[in-house]
Amino acid sequence: MQSLFDNGHYVWALFLNHLVIEKLLKACHVKNVDAHYPRIHNLVEIAAKATLELSTEQKVFLTELSTVNLRARYPDYKNRFQKKATRQFAESQISKVKEFRQ
């Protein structure tokens, strides 16, 4: 993620940003609930299924981050998302993910 960001590939850095949190939430599900983690990409739903308590701010952040999954993968979304995925936006999102990981 950091390497992609450093090289100006902001859309893909943001996509990996989403994956980092998705995998961590699924790991929490495995730890807290069972090994059959949800096969979905909606981060708020995964957190709920993992029995994690989130603040309203965290839910808003995860909701926004979940949209990156679609926007980075599919061409019709990707073209519009590239305009939003500036260095400043990506840097802000990466910072939020690092904080959320803690």
Token digits of residue 66? 């979940």
Q: Which two tokens stand for residue 43?
A: 């981060």
pLDDT for 1-14, tens place per residue? Answer: 899 999 999 988 99
pLDDT of 27 > 90? The answer is yes
Q: What is the CATH number of the domain that holds 51?
A: 1.20.120
pTM of the model: 0.85
pLDDT, tens only, 91-100: 999 999 999 9
What is the number of structural domains in the chain? 1
Q: Which domain holds residue 14?
A: 2-101
Distance CA 59, CA 88 (A): 22
pLDDT above 90 as % of the chain: 73
